[in-house]
Amino acid sequence: MQNPTQPLEGGRRPALRRPAVWPWLTWLAGWAFMLVLDRHLDLANLAMVLMLTSAIASLWWPGWASAAASALAVVGFNWSFVPPRYTFTVDLHQHALLLLAMLAVNWIISGLVVRQRRLAETASQLAEREARLRTWGDTLRDAVDPAAHASALHAALQEAARVPVAVAVLRGLGAQPEDQATLQVGAVTDDQRAGLALCIRDGRPMGAGTGRYDELSDWYLPLRGRGVTLGAAVLEGMDTRGAGPELRPHLQALCDQMGGALHRSLMGQQEQRAREQAQLQATRNALLAAISHDYRTPLATIMGAASALHDQADRLDLEQRRRLASGIVEEAERLSRLTDNTLQLARLDMPSVQLRCDWESAEEIVGAVLRRARRRPDGARVKAWIEPELPLLWCDALLVSQLLDNLLDNALKYSPPGSVVELQVQRREGQACLSVCDRGPGIAPAWRERVFEVFQRGDEASRAASVEASRQGSGVGLAVCRAIARAHGGELRLSPRQHGGCRFDCLLPLRELQDPPPSDGDSPP
């Protein structure tokens, strides 16, 4: 049982540490009251006043002091009020019985009061510990990096134990206590440092009363996760403190909460790295699949035309040679677009991608895209319109140009010959909207989101009539377009047109020219 004169864990004072003058004042008031009523009350009633005074005084005094005061009070009562007065002689047997009964009742009441007081103190300690554990658990639950709260654990342990404390925290799974990355809070000696290392390796508490190295004066408590120990705490001089048996489980619970939070955090970091590695591997596999499948057709066309020009140039007329050369150029451009899209998709899927953003003019971007589109045989049907006085765009011009190239390529490929393909740039809801509109067969509602996935070509049945199988895309272009839009903090949307066809809207945020807020991956202007 904890000594009532010592402070409780957490620095709270028990009730009996109130000013020591109160029990003395209680006895003084009780004796004064009995002396005043001596001639007005009989001996039994005066005895009741004495027992009441003893019960009240025991609210502050420890058990032995209350018992001693009660015995002295009964002796004084015999001297002052029991006939013959001012002697310790007891003439009547009932007076002796009264004195013995008073002493027994006083001791019983004092014992019960002291016991209830100790129970109340224990309940207060348990409530305080429960609140400390709950608060500590809430702190760790919301912590991004639990290791940053090592100082808070140090303070909680020191508050609970009222002794010097030191905490060592490992910063990674598989780390060793001797590593430079180990976080330490509090000063330790060489022996304590060795004890912390041993406690971390064994994962069990050590010190007085733990069953391991009981000769040590300090407690060593591990920070245990699930099947792993990620640190330890040392509490000095716990063998001489006389701590109750319930204190060490409370301190160990604080340490285990920290160990569990550290384990969850480190496992979450490993899981995130594993997801990133899996994503990179999936991207690599997708790239290999694209190369093996979608590169074959343009390469075969180029090889066939080049072989014909090389082996049969003398038998071909000028128009035939021009047609073969044009096919080589067209398929090489297709192969170049496919390569650019595949590489950009791999780059944009990488974590922490960096964009080369600057203030760009929408007129210049659209002009460059339009010049490239007009070089195509059917590029003359592309019409462009830009809203006047459109502000500059904070973007990566090469990526935005590639986005528009892909959208125009799809529109020209899937729309009927002779139909107009529109390229528009305007403001919409405080954003810059870059739109490409066609009059193709459209996309079925079930495919309007799936077409933005990698290697999805849309509803093949509905588009078979609008494009030859050899000219169908690889299913990478629209995925790259959406990745480019989202990398700029925007979005790419697909909507059907009223009289047939599709409309692709790329929404990019408009920023203030005076203070551009580059995103995390953007380089400064």
pLDDT (tens digit per residue) in 44-58: 888 888 888 888 888
- pLDDT(63) > 80: no
* pLDDT band, very low/low/confident/very high, at 41 (cuts 50, 70, 90): confident
- pLDDT(2) > 60: no
* pLDDT band, very low/low/confident/very high, at 129 (cuts 50, 70, 90): confident
Q: Give pLDDT, residue 49.
A: 87
Once rounded to an integer, what is the mean pLDDT over residues 424-451?
A: 88
Question: What is the arrangement of strands in the sheet containing 502-509, beginning at the earlier edge strand?
Answer: 382-386, 421-428, 431-437, 502-509, 491-496
Once rounded to an integer, what is the mean pLDDT over residues 288-306?
A: 74
CATH number for the domain formed by residue range(s) 145-266 = 3.30.450.40
Q: Give pLDDT, residue 505.
A: 94
Q: Give pLDDT, residue 523.
A: 42
CA torsion angle 17 18 20 26 (round to 10): -130
| Identity of the highest mean pLDDT range in 239-248, 269-278, 460-469 | 269-278
Name which of 220, 202, 200, 201 is nearest 210 in CA terms.
220
Q: Model's pTM, two decimal places? A: 0.47
Give me the chain's average pLDDT, please.
80
302 phi and psi angles, rounded to 5 deg: -65, -45
* pLDDT band, very low/low/confident/very high, at 333 (cuts 50, 70, 90): confident
Token duo for residue 455: 């290697």
Percent of the chain exceeding pLDDT 70 equals: 83
In whole angstroms, how far apart are CA 253 and each of 157, 201, 249, 442? 10, 19, 6, 63
Q: Give pLDDT, residue 516.
A: 52
- pLDDT(454) > 90: no
Once rounded to an integer, what is the mean pLDDT over residues 395-412?
A: 89
Query: Which range is least confidently modeled, 149-153, 358-362, 419-423, 428-432?
Result: 149-153
pLDDT (tens digit per residue) in 467-504: 443 445 556 778 888 888 988 889 999 999 888 889 99
- pLDDT(33) > 80: yes
* Number of other CB atoms surrounding residue 285 within 10 Å: 10
- Whether the CB-CB separation of 261 and 253 falls below 8 Å is answered with no
Q: Give pLDDT, residue 392.
A: 92
Once rounded to an integer, what is the mean pLDDT over residues 442-451?
A: 83
Bigger pLDDT: 339 or 258?
258
Where are the domains positioned within the chain? 9-137, 145-266, 295-348, 358-509
Assess whether the previous peptide bond of 84 is cis (omega < 30° from 0): yes
Q: Give pLDDT, residue 128.
A: 80
Bigger pLDDT: 433 or 308?
433
- The three-state DSSP-derived secondary structure of 382-448 is EEEEECCCCCCEEECHHHHHHHHHHHHHHHHHHCCCCCCEEEEEEEECCEEEEEEECCCCCCCHHHC
Q: What angle do CA 20, 21, 27 make, to 5 degrees?
A: 115
- Whether the CB-CB separation of 64 and 114 falls below 8 Å is answered with no
- pLDDT(350) > 80: no
Name which of 424, 433, 419, 437 is nearest 385 in CA terms.
424
* pLDDT band, very low/low/confident/very high, at 3 (cuts 50, 70, 90): very low
Once rounded to an integer, what is the mean pLDDT over residues 229-253?
A: 80
- Whether the CB-CB separation of 113 and 66 falls below 8 Å is answered with yes
- Whether the CB-CB separation of 305 and 328 falls below 8 Å is answered with yes
220 phi and psi angles, rounded to 5 deg: -120, 115
Once rounded to an integer, what is the mean pLDDT over residues 120-129?
A: 78
For tokens 């016991």, the residue is: 115
Strands 183-185 and 393-395: unpaired
Query: Which range is least confidently modeled, 202-211, 228-237, 336-345?
Result: 336-345
pLDDT (tens digit per residue) in 185-219: 888 898 998 999 999 889 999 988 888 888 888 99
For tokens 């005066």, the residue is: 46
Residues constituting the chain: 525
- pLDDT(511) > 50: yes
Q: Which CATH entry fits the domain spanning 358-509: 3.40.50.800, 3.40.50.1110, 3.20.20.70, 3.30.565.10? A: 3.30.565.10
